[in-house]
Structure 1
Amino acid sequence: MMPSYRPESAPPGEKALYVALASSPDTEGWIVLHSLAIAEHVRQVEGEADFVVIVPDHGVLVIEVKSHQTITVLDDGQWKLGHDRPTPRHPFKQANEAMHSLRGFLESKNLDLRSIPLLSCAWFTEVRARTMLPSSTEWHDWQVLDSEDRRKGVPAAILRTLEEGKAHLDAKIQYFSYGGVGPDHELTDRIASILRPRFELATVAGDRRRVREQELISFIGEQYEALDAMQDNRRVLFTGPAGSGKTLLATEAARREVSMGRSGRLLCFNRFLGRRLVSDMDDLPGVTVGTLHKELLRIAGVQPHPGAGQDFWERELPDRAMEVLLEGGEGLVRDFLVVDETQDIVREPYLDVLDLMVSGGLEDGRLLLFGDFERQAIFDASDGRELLRSRVGQLTTHRLITNCRNLPRIGYQVNTFSKLQPGYQRFRRRDDGFDPSVFTYKSGSDQSEQLVSAVRTLRNDGFELNEIVVLSPLEGNSTASRTTDTWLRQVLRPADGTASRPGQLSYSTIQAFKGLEARAVVVTDIDRHTMPNFESLLYVGLTRATDRLFALIEAGTLRAALGGTV
């Protein structure tokens, strides 16, 4: 599908066809262009084709979609579609004009279309148009598709239309299909690339990196305005979805506090993120940086015993640290507390010990908290905002709403798959024209071939191996950890939160990589049957990608995510 996300503004009929085409196993090898703008239109200044479906060895079908509940052909020949104003330009004429416009454009690019059925049709997705509409000299019966075709199977209806259209061409053009019809797979790709080219392939990889660096400089200034706006509030909770700059603001908040002569802590929940923060903040005296659990171990003066489980980390360790703090640990109390990933730390035992770490406690201390309570609380299903409000005095909330990490098309894909409400609406980065890529696999099958294809595509687009991360919801049985592919086994290395070395391809669980990002991400093993907390985990995994995203999704899971039947 190009684009590989479904625009929320599309009419319901277009959404339904999009889902059916994207999720059906019968469209393997097809290329579908949705909402294709036509600059050189045969009749108008510009036009649009709702769908252009390119089917290898069958042809190209231009589809005009109408989602109206009623269709009326008036006595004067005008069409009345739903509540729209009457028009003499009926859907078949719209589709036909779009088809001839595309034909002219393709032929201007020296593309030989002599044995390629290039056809058009109108699809009335909500009514039984094949029985309602009379026969007419203005269209062929095979050009009418309707709600029954949608119900019985969208790919089958398209193939039927192409076959009947080919039969019509055979009757009109001698030897049209003699020797078979196209396009073949190579020509299918060429037609798609001509109609919807990927201009960015001409951009040098180094130039893209420099653009990204310049973007970050401007974004940082804008994001810091959030801290400026909240500087007079002693206790602030900054909330926002993934990619809204929370970790960046957390580190800047700690730097500002230290610059005013205060001592404090910058804590997070995730181990990999903790390592990254330590690396980024090693030049800053006066602040202790790391994970909450590492700081509790340091305060309590203990090490986890072999086989330490959830009860140790969530009950015993906080209790041991509290004992030390209550028994004269004044030297351990700090002036301020900055917490990233707050959504994973808001539990009574942790809040109890945090209360003793900062001067004035949670009620009156200097607290700057950063969290995503919508979908990133993957370690605790409860929403901790109410608990925070009950424990923290006069807590001010500031919401971050602009995504400054992901390119827009990645964000739109996240909206679709993770069912975010209202979802990402504003993106700071400019669209680069690259759609996220989705590969399907059968449950239980090896995804190594798709993973190799994704990585090599990224390499061809100028990404270094150490700029790519492979993520999975599975820890011990992921595609990356158990692959038998010789090349993958040579380059794959487990991620540890530090920067990868040149020539190394990192892999990690989604859970461990939370809070971090990579220029290119390949998410594997996406199967709703093996992923607890499916939508939240998928949300975290997909939002790690700043520039390129590949997703390997079990076929039934893809159909369900797009709103189709399982």
Structure 2
Amino acid sequence: MARMIPPTIHPEVQSSAERRVFDWIRDAPGTEDWICLHSLGLSEHDSKRRGEIDFLLLTRLGIFVLEVKGGRVARENGVWKFTNRYNKTTTKSEGPFDQASSAMFGLEKRVRKHFESGDSRQQRLLYGFGVVTPDCSLGDQLGAEADRRQLYDRENIKTNNQSLKKYVEQLAAYWRERSSLGNSKGRYAPTEKDLELLSGFLRGDFDRVPSMGALADAATHKMHALEAEQYQVLDALEKYPEPRMIVQGGAGTGKTLLAAEITRREASRTDGEVLLLCFNRVLAGVLRKNVASTERGSVIVDSIHSLLNDLIKGSDVQADFEEAKVGKEPAEIFNRLMPEYALQALMVKDCKQYQTLVIDEAQDMLSRPMLDVLDAMVVGGLNKGRWWFFCDRNNQASVFGVYEDEALFRLIPVGVVSLLPTNRRNTIQIAQETEIKTLPQFPPAATVDGIPVRTAWYKKVVDQRQLLGATLRKLLNEDIAPYQISVLSCRKAEDCCASQFRDFPLASVDEDNAWKVGTPLLNQVTACSVSSFKGLENDFIILTDVDELTPDWWRGVVYVGMSRARIGLCVFINQKLEALCNERQQDWLKKRVKLGV
């Protein structure tokens, strides 16, 4: 079986021909050393280059671009006609062989440029292209446009019973002959090292995942190329028979993005249910919109509060739970009572078990009682089941939920720890200012330069409202769209700066509309508490009500709030903290000098 990148075909690929070819390549015997990069084949590719190659085969015989054309294909008087399954015909002057040729030469040019100062072998590898038409025979229409060995059509498949592997061998023979014609230098057959180097370079053009801001509406999809450390997390799906991963990373390292993609890929390979669990109910609403069920397994998205409540509700222990929580603080109810009574409920009623658990915001639900509940909910338990915990042990840990080192230490012996060290969300300026203000233990390094962070000082609530009005006017006058801006508060909604703000209309973020944040579908400046915005992001963040920076809870809230910004950040801080901020700035500069940065 060939190694497929991505390992499953995207559920939105509508071409049945592409789906069949994907299966043929994946399941072809004797292709264990093949690597196949498969284009998503969707309309929302952010550049033509990324959308023009259907399949790229990296084999020990050569590098081959395959263009797939389903339905009926015909050429009349030099014009190509393509008829789909709905009997709709389109015509093009450029045929599939021209498309494949153009894609191949463009690809080879990129590879040559990338490796021009390094591996010289990569510039002399054997390249070729072919066309696959599984629904029709095209051999008698080729003329001088292509050699018969470049085509894999219905005649090859049905009449001659030719395997795909045999076709690729004939395709390689044809391109070896072509490469030795005239004065051209011969080409190398790729080695295993050549293939790994090339797949590492090209993978980001093919294995791309939708951003959390991407919606079901294809017009608003954005695609992210992942980085090496993020691929290591996805590769665990193929590497381990029963993957159990603890993925640690600071804010902006892509944990939620990866949790969503892992959920999609797990659901595509199981007939059971995959549970994607998070702490923030608003984030759960966003994830439901972004993580769709597949044609195989189904996806259940829930918040930990909702999950525990549903387990207790209607059970034999509900009355005891209601009595036990009277007079208790919310933290004690969530941290101790809810998991305790949920576990009792599981013992007395049938427990639904999930094929896989994917836990985002795990730092807010890492306690021994919580793990006991989760242990009962996954097939094989935590010791033998399939699970993924995504967590941030920086200032986020235990600020909003519960975090115990003992719980993490329980998972480590039966799982694999993976680190995400690079901040993919924030600019360097935002990441550095967040580090200065909040002193995270493991600050992830950012790599993208941006605009300076603005700090504004206030003495009274009315000062903040004036600052907020001036800041919004400035951003909107600079052609920043309203939907790109979110106003966050360290306080509860009813006590925050924005609650009495009337200069501009502000849309409150809730579970129903959070999936629209940062998109034209909610074309207003949005307002929210930091706790409800955790796990979300926007281009421009205005963080208000920063009244403290020393207690751990405040540092955690400010850390989360500041790290929500992708491009621009403005922070409103109580003037009493100005001296402390200056002191932390100096300490940070001294630390960098000492480290030689």
TM-score interval, normalised by the smaller of the two chains: 0.5 to 0.7
Cross-structure match for 1:286: 298
Aligned residue runs from structure 1 range 330-345, under 5 A = 330=351, 332-345=352-365
- The Cα of 1:296 is off from its aligned counterpart by 2.3
Name the structure 2 match of 1:546.
566
Mapped contact 1:473–1:531 kept (Cα < 8 A):
no
* Matches of 1:286 and 1:564, distance apart in 2: 48
CA distance in 1, matches of 2:529, 2:551: 12
- Matched to 2:495, the amino acid is N
Instruction: Tell me the SS of whatever aligns to 2:545.
Output: strand
Q: Deviations over 1:349-403 (max 9, x none)?
A: 2111111001121222211110001111243697534422225642211000111
Match of 1:410 in 2: 430
Corresponding residue for residue 369 of structure 1: 389
1:294 to 1:220, Cα distance in 2 relative to 1, 3 A: farther
Q: Which residue of 2 aligns with 1:274?
A: 284
The one of 258, 269, 272 aligned to 1:249: 258
> What SS does the aligned partner of 2:376 have?
helix
After superposition, the C-alpha distances for 1:146-199 in whole angstroms (9 at most, x for unaligned) are: xxxxxxxxxxxxxxxxxxxxxxxxxxxxxxxxxxxxxxxxxxxxxxxxxxxxxx
Matched, 1:217 2:227: no
Structure 1 match to 2:497: 479
SS class of match (1:462): coil
- How has the CA–CA distance of structure 1 residues 565 and 370 changed in structure 2, closer, same or farther, with 3 Å as cutoff? closer
Cα deviation, residue 529, structure 1: 7.3
SS of 2:503's partner is helix
Separation in 1, partners of 2:225, 2:585: 44
Range with greater deviation from structure 2 (398-407 or 418-427): 418-427
Describe the shift of the 1:216–1:403 C-alpha distance in structure 2 as closer, same or farther (beyond 3 A).
farther
Structure 1's 373 and 230: CA in aligned 2 closer, same or farther, altered over 3 A?
farther
1:509-528 aligned at under 5 Å gives the runs 509-528=529-548
Task: Report matched runs for 1:164-313 at 5 Å.
Answer: 216-219=223-226, 223-229=230-236, 231-233=238-240, 234-261=243-270, 262-284=272-294, 285-302=297-314, 309-313=330-334
**2:156 maps to which residue?**
none
Q: Alpha-carbon deviation of 1:439?
A: 1.0
Contact 2:544 2:572 in 1 (8 A): yes
Shift of 1:228: 0.9
**Alignment match, 1:163:** none
Summarize the Cα distance change of 1:397–1:385 in structure 2 as closer, same or farther, 3 Å threshold.
farther
CA distance in structure 1 between the aligned counterparts of 2:227 and 2:350, rounded to whole angstroms: 37
Q: Is the 8 A contact 1:408 1:431 kept in 2?
A: yes
Q: 1:317 aligns with which of 318, 338, 341?
A: 338
In the alignment, the residues of structure 1 paired with residue 339 and residue 402 of structure 2 have an alpha-carbon distance, to the nearest angstrom, of: 20
Q: Report the CA distance between 1:502 and its aligned residue.
A: 4.0
Question: Could you give the per-residue CA deviations for residues 82-118 of structure 1, whole angstroms, max 9, x where no partner exists?
Answer: xxxxxxxxxxxxxxxxxxxxxxxxxxxxxxxxxxxxx
| Cα shift at 1:326 | 2.0
Structure 1 pair 249–494 and aligned structure 2 pair: CA distance change class (3 A):
closer
TM-score with structure 1 setting the length: 0.56
Cα distance in structure 2, aligned partners of 1:288 and 1:561: 43
Distance in 2 between the 1:249 and 1:323 partners?
32
Q: Check whether the contact 1:471–1:507 (CA below 8 A) recurs between aligned residues.
A: yes
Corresponding residue number in structure 2 for 1:560:
580
For each residue in 1:203-243, what CA deviation from the matched residue of structure 2 results, as whole angstroms up to 9, or x when unmatched? xxxxxx9xxx9995223787334321574342110000000
Shift in Å, 1:328: 4.6
CA 1:256/1:315 → structure 2, altered by over 3 Å: closer, same or farther? same
Aligned pairs for 1:150-165 within 5 A: none
Contiguous gaps of at least 5 residues in structure 1: 1-208
**Structure 1 counterpart of 2:449:** 431
- Note the C-alpha offset of 1:312: 3.9
Percent identity of paired positions between Structure 1 and Structure 2: 29
Q: Secondary structure at the match of 1:250?
A: helix
Q: TM-score, normalised by structure 2?
A: 0.53
**1:283, CA displacement in angstroms?**
3.7
Partner AA of 1:452 in structure 2: G
What is the identity, as a one-letter code, of the residue corresponding to 1:255? R
Aligned with 1:467 (options 462, 484, 487):
484
What secondary structure does 2:277 align onto?
Answer: strand
SS at match of 2:379: coil
Tell me how large the CA RMSD over aligned residues is: 3.1
1:493 maps to 2:508: yes
- Matched length: 348
Distance 1:273 1:435, change over 3 A: same
Change beyond 3 A, Cα 1:347–1:251: same
Give, in whole Å, the separation in 1 of the partners of 2:524 and 2:360. Answer: 29
Q: Is the 8 A contact 1:272 1:512 kept in 2?
A: yes
1:42 maps to none
C-alpha distance in 1 between matches for 2:332 and 2:581: 35
Find the residue that maps to 2:456 and give its secondary structure: strand
- Distance across 2 between alignment mates of 1:345 and 1:554: 31
Q: 1:381 to 1:256 in 2, by over 3 A?
A: closer
Cα 1:487–1:527 shift into 2, 3 Å = same
Whole-angstrom CA distance in 2 between matches of 1:268 and 1:232: 25
Query: 1:311 deviation in Å?
Result: 4.2
Work out which structure has the larger RCO, using CA pairs closer than 8 Å and 6 or more positions apart in sequence.
Answer: 1
Displacement after TM superposition at 1:327 (Å): 2.8
Structure 2 residue identity aligned to 1:299: L
